[in-house]
Amino acid sequence: MDATGASATTASRWPAWYRTTAQYQQPDLRKAIWQLVNTFLPYTALWVLLVWLLQNQVPYLLVFPLVVLASGFLVRIFIFFHDCGHGSFFASQRANKVLGYLCGFLTLTPYEQWRHSHALHHASVGDLDRRGDGDVWTMTVEEYRNASPLKRFIYRFFRHPLVTFGIGPILIFVVSERFPDKNARQKDKLSVHITNGAIAAALLAAYLTIGLRTLLVIFLPMMAIAASAGVWLFYVQHQFEDTYWAHGKAWEMSRAALEGSSYYQLPKVLQWFSGNIGFHHVHHVRARIPNYHLQRCHEQTPELRSRTPLTIRESLKCMSLDLWDEEQKRLVSFRSLRDRPAG
């Protein structure tokens, strides 16, 4: 198995041009270090400035824009964490692990547990028979129609934008990630405990220095914004109208990567803060391409460059897509069911 979860047999089904993308997998130490410098230094400086402003009783309304800016850097730090999980940020896997744990602490995410869950996501994305590993809960039209009233209510509640992009993200990162998964491996459990221990130590240090109130009024809004942005990015990467889903035997990893992963075209500043993750079709083609090589791979591979981009305006429509229609091979809204007879 490779970093995407693909076997040699599966990989052989890829088109010929797939082999040319391997050259972009090589990590670049200078680019990696520069990314750390241009992200961690301003993020740290923002924290120092925010603490100073609050301790000098500057109105929070004036401080809040800096919290929003810091949340952008936190999203970028999560992308580094994501690359480390794929073993792609550095050539050294030990360095990836150390940075992964550090970024995991800063984003409240246990490194080993998330790494395992995300590997399952890459190995099963778009497979209707393997839903539930690191993906967004998605029911088919038939499943929804056959579900009990209670399950329909829960599903509709879960898919509501205020829950999916508002309440849900903060609950996932602040609460859910504090506990090991039901079937977690020993090293996954250990990563949860290490991360929780580091968070507890940070809370104690804040209590003894700047005060818990100062820490929380900075970090909780910052984390809420970053978590919502991160979940939104993950959502539109796979939850768009003409995405790809198929059942077990008919499922193909190459189609899931190319058709089931979007090319989210963002303005340059948002592309920078999101660490080029909008080139998600490239990422699913080669999961070990570091974020700093994704754009170059996209631009230099005609088959990837020809992909129709998903713009910000078009991506907003994704919020109303809730169910996979197996007949039409597309995601549809709850509202569309009213216009069609059951069965």
The continuous run of DSSP H or E covering 324 comes out as strand 323-325
pLDDT at 342 over 60: no
Tens-place pLDDT, residues 151-167: 999 999 999 999 999 99
Confidence of residue 339 (pLDDT cuts 50, 70, 90): low
Distance CA 296, CA 80 (A): 18
The DSSP line for 240-281 is STT---B-GGG--HHHHHHHSS-BB---HHHHHHTTTTTBHH
Euclidean distance between CA atoms 120 and 285, whole angstroms: 15
Whole-model pTM? 0.93
Q: What is the dihedral of CA 163, 181, 195, 159, to 10 degrees?
A: -10
Model pLDDT for residues 193-245, shown as the tens digit of each residue: 999 999 999 999 999 999 999 999 999 999 999 999 999 999 999 999 999 99
Which strand (E) or helix (H) includes residue 296?
helix 291-300
pLDDT of 132 over the 90 cut: no
E strand segments, 64-208: 139-140
The CA-atom distances, in angstroms, between 273 and each of 39, 113, 224, 292 are 9, 24, 16, 12
pLDDT, mean of residues 35-43: 98
Q: Which pLDDT belongs to residue 183? A: 86
Please state, in angstroms and as integers, the Cα–Cα distance from residue 59 to each residue in 43, 54, 56, 122, 211, following that order. 21, 8, 9, 45, 17
Domain that holds residue 66: 8-339
Residue 325 belongs to some domain of the structure:
yes
Domains identified in the chain, total number:
1
Q: Is residue 3 part of a domain?
A: no
179, part of any domain? yes
2 inside domain: no
User: Is 248 a domain residue?
Assistant: yes
| Residue 206 within a domain | yes
Band of the pLDDT at 340, cuts 50, 70, 90? low
pLDDT, tens digit (0-9, with 9 covering 90-100), for 250-276: 999 999 999 999 999 999 999 999 999
Within a domain: 1: no
Neighbour tally for 181: CB within 10 Å: 17
Specify if 68 maps to a domain.
Answer: yes
